[in-house]
A = this chain, B = another copy of it.
Amino acid sequence: MDRLPTIEDVARAAQVSRQTVSNVLNTPAIVKPETRKRVEVAIRKLAYRPHASARRLRMRKSSTIAIRLDPMTNGISGALLDRFLHALTEQADARGIRILLFTAADPAAEIEQIRKLRAGADVDAFVLTATFHGDPRTEWLVEHDVPFVTFGRPWGVNDMNNPKHLWVDVDGFAGMREATLHLIDAGSSRIGFVGWPSLSGTGDDRRRGWQAAVEERLFPGDGDLAALNLSVEDLLEDARDAVVALLESDERIDGLVCASDTLALGAMIAAASVGRSDLPIIGFDNSPVGQAIGLSSVDQALDEVARGALELLLGETGGDLVRRDAAAAGDTRHRLITPHLVIRQPLRLLAPDAVSIPTATKNAVGNHRNGKESQ
């Protein structure tokens, strides 16, 4: 046999009709156990699997979700999408859903790609990442009634309550607050925050988490919060320079929390270069680089994000049916995932007054492969 076996081949082999074979596969309950057995044997013997395209054509759904592969590798946290993709693919596989990739240089191109994929009935739904304020993509999708979910909440006030806009996001506020509280519990009493210019909703959210923890436990004086609050682009150098300046201007600082691992790494370098290698620093993203270098960080729990996204799109039960009407999608239209703090023993970039690393220090260095989570 030079072609793949069809349902007809199985039917012949099991002495039943097409439909019975189909039933064994889709609604086994309604077929007599005896015949079912026979069919199952035939299926195994022929190594039969239903032809995906044929099934999709008949069912009028593709059981495929598309996601855009971000063109920019966001510096150090670049692997974020990578890990999310992995989690998404795994979760989707468990539900019999496939993940399809596409690329686009800008939002307009992405919309065009979505239109094409959609018109070709290639995919049922889309997962969008890196949403931003006034995102034209979500607008278009809602307008054209295309099922989608975003990783990242809509920051516009209007969109927030649009029942057609499903979203999953990580609770940056909670994550940063936990990180800050951890430092306070460990003895820090003057903690700085390194974040981004307040254009991004994500950055502001994380900043507020730091601020909340500081206010509820450290009772900062007038102007303290402003003095401890840095805003720089997500670049290693910028963070390093800003943190060097901060540490030199304020000797009492005994802890730093950062809006990203990139910033945190910059901060580590800065701390080391002003002789403060001991300064506790916590980042955000739990990036591979952070892991390699022993950086404590807030982990985004991407598998939970992925699961949440699929649940919103497909329903809790995991059926392979995409629900068009948001009303059927369960109670909520969104998920806010609480991230978890991962504490690590930092790898000292260098001991300030030792030319080589003393054995004692060396042994104290934690292995990045068993960073344990707090709480």
Contacts and interface: CB of A to CB of B under 8 A. Distances in A.
Interface in A69-99: 69-71, 73-76, 78-79, 81-83, 85-86, 89-90, 93, 98-99
Interface stretch (A32-40, A115-123, A163-171, A172-180): A115-123
A103 B121 contact: no
Contacts of A349: 269, 272-273, 349-350
A31 interface: no
Interface string A325-363: 000000000000000000000010111000111000010
Interface stretch (A153-161, A209-217, A236-244): A236-244
A103 B98 contact: no
Interface stretch (A44-52, A135-143, A218-226): A44-52
Given A4-B119, A121-B51, A289-B289, A101 B85 contact: yes
A298 interface: no
B76 A289 contact: yes
A288 interface: yes
Contact of A53 (B57, B244, B288): B57
A62 interface: yes
Interface in A290-330: 291-293
A308 to B, nearest CB: 18
Contact of A79 (B62, B73, B99, B235): B73
A274 interface: yes
Q: What's the number of copies of this chain in the assembled complex?
A: 2
Nearest to A67: B101
User: Interface size class for chain A?
Assistant: 35 or more
Most B Cβ at <10 Å: residue of A62, A244, A269, A292: A292
Contacts of A74: 288
Given A75-B288, A350-B350, A48 B4 contact: no
Contacts of A365: 237
A278 interface: no
A150 interface: no
A103 B49 CA distance: 19
A202 interface: no
A336 to B, nearest CB: 25
Given A85-B101, A101-B89, A274 B56 contact: no
17 contacts: A4-B121, A47-B115, A51-B121, A54-B57, A69-B86, A69-B89, A70-B86, A76-B289, A76-B292, A78-B79, A86-B103, A93-B103, A99-B101, A235-B292, A236-B368, A240-B347, A262-B292
